[in-house]
Amino acid sequence: NIFIAFNIYDMALSNPEKALSMLREIEDSEDAYRMLGAWSSSALKSYKKDPTNRKTKNILKELAKIDMLLKTTSFSSEPWKILESFILRAKLL
């Protein structure tokens, strides 16, 4: 369910521990790349609403880095670990 991805993204910005728990519950049944796409879509939507928001810019940059890592490194075999690390850092970006 793609709506779960959007909920996890929103939760990561306010309560990373809960978002991480939510993510771990669905890792076996969802696609990590689709999750990243949903998060990127949410961040882009926020950016369009307020292009001066520094936090949103930082999140977009971080999601772009994650996308590149998943496409070009061995993280592609363990995508959930890098998505988990994003959740833990999202509130601080």
Each residue's pLDDT expressed in tens, for the chain with a length of 93 residues: 789 999 999 999 999 999 999 999 999 999 999 999 999 999 999 999 999 999 999 999 999 999 999 999 887 888 999 999 999 999 998
Residue type, 33: Y
* pLDDT at residue 73, as a whole number: 87
Neighbours of 44 (CB within 10 A): 14
Which structure tokens are listed for 29? Answer: 């049944």
* pLDDT at residue 76, as a whole number: 83
Given CA atoms 35, 13, 59, 41 in this order, what sign does their dihedral have? Answer: positive
Neighbours of 48 (CB within 10 A): 9
